[in-house]
Amino acid sequence: MSNDKPAIEKPARGEPYLLTPGPLTTSRAVKEAMLEDWGSWDGGFRAVTAQVREMLLALTGDSTGALDCVPMQGSGSFVVEAMLGSFVPKDGK
């Protein structure tokens, strides 16, 4: 694994980097890509989602097919709550 930092494009108009949820400090290329509307049942969207799921599952090293990946929409807090609700037994702490 390389220790090289990824090249992060600076905002075009010198905007500050904002560390809050949402597409606030993004490059022009990302903003242009966001101009295309995607529906959750569009073929392209489904293909990208399937590819992301496959890539995430590959990171686990599971070759048995016992694991799955379910993308969750929402904030990081929402996903953490969903994870805790799924992985911690009702009588667990």
Chain-wide mean pLDDT for the chain? Answer: 83
- Torsion-angle region of 47 (φ positive above 0: left; ψ -120 to 50: alpha; else: beta): alpha
Assess if residue 56 is contained within a domain.
Answer: yes
State how far the Cα of 23 lies from the Cα of 11, in Å rounded to an integer: 12
Domain span at residue 52 reads 40-87
Assess if residue 49 is contained within a domain.
Answer: yes
80 within 8 A of 90, measured Cβ to Cβ: no
DSSP symbols for the chain: ---PPPP-PPPTT-PPP--SSSS-S--HHHHHHTTS---TTSHHHHHHHHHHHHHHHHHHT--SS--------S-HHHHHHHHHHHHS-TT--
How many domains does the chain contain in total?
A: 1
Q: What would the pLDDT profile of 4-32 be if each residue is shown by its tens digit?
A: 776 777 767 777 766 666 666 777 888 88
Assess if residue 68 is contained within a domain.
Answer: yes
pTM of the model: 0.57
